[in-house]
Amino acid sequence: NAGVTQTPKFRVLKTGQSMTLLCAQDMNHEYMYWYRQDPGMGLRLIHYSVGEGTTAKGEVPDGYNVSRLKKQNFLLGLESAAPSQTSVYFCASSYDSRGSDEQFFGPGTRLTVL
Amino acid sequence: GESVGLHLPTLSVQEGDNSIINCAYSNSASDYFIWYKQESGKGPQFIIDIRSNMDKRQGQRVTVLLNKTVKHLSLQIAATQPGDSAVYFCAENGDSSYKLIFGSGTRLLVRP
């Protein structure tokens, strides 16, 4: 049981380049989330999904897109990276409201946009 | 708007002492609260959670207290150890049953 995994762990992009961050969970969770964390700050929700094939905007969705084609995977895309998107990105997953609302987090992806 | 805040951005304690980390929340509709620990370079790790029908919940060396009257949440760590040094985040669910709103975090430093 690997929990929540993220790929890649580190990435450096040039302004205008695109990339996709992959999140995978093996806990059969319904809900998945993408957050960004900037220095000295808490986690801000970018996008989330409440089930396969569904996505919704969070607090800071601009400049990002997501897809949830399979229940276990949640992809975060940057179509045209900007320096303001330099951050650490965390993926999380959770079960549903019948059980614990605890979100399980991945190890993070550190992204630098030059 | 909704917010979860912390009174102390940095807390320094002596090894072996008890630590108390405080958190204020603003959304009266929140009925679920959770504390996470984040070590440097790692993702947040679950510590303990509590629902609004409880005032207190205990885990191993940790206790969470919820005061709904003043919208205050606290995390108590007994016999603080060097391995407890980390940033601690509180979070609430607001109006949602599946989203969490995170505070900005408190850094706990344990002096040997």
pLDDT of residue B5: 46
pLDDT band at A100; cut points 50, 70, 90: low
Cβ of B45 and A105 within 8 Å? yes
pLDDT tens per residue across all 112 residues of chain B: 344 544 448 999 999 999 999 999 989 899 999 999 999 889 999 999 999 999 999 999 999 999 999 999 999 999 999 999 999 999 998 887 778 999 889 999 999 9
Burial of B29-52, coded b for 16+ CB within 10 Å and e otherwise, reads: ebbbbbbbbbeeeebbeebbbbee
Nearest CA in chain A to B5: A42
- Position of tokens 């191993």? B60
| Interface contact flag, B104 A41, Cβ < 8 Å | yes
Residues of A in contact with B93 (CB under 8 A): 101
d(CA A47, CA A53): 13
DSSP letters, chain A, are: ---EEEE-SEEEE-TT--EEEEEEESS--SEEEEEEE-TT--EEEEEEESSTT--EE-SS-TT-EEE-SSTTEEEEEESS--GGG-EEEEEEEE--TTS--PPEE---EEEEE-
So what's the pLDDT on residue B8?
Answer: 47
Indicate the burial class of B66 (C-beta count within 10 angstroms; 0-12, 13-18, 19 or more): buried
What integer is the mean pLDDT of A92-107? 80
Residues of chain B contacting A102 with CB distance shorter than 8 Å: 34, 46, 49
Sign of CA dihedral B28, A31, B48, A60: negative
> For A23-81, what is each residue's pLDDT tens digit?
999 988 999 999 999 887 789 999 999 999 999 999 999 999 999 999 999 999 999 99
Residues 22-41 of chain A with CB under 8 A from chain B are 31, 33, 40-41
The beta-carbon neighbor of B98 closest among A31, A90, A104 is A31
Closest CA–CA distance from residue B79 to any residue of chain A (Å): 25
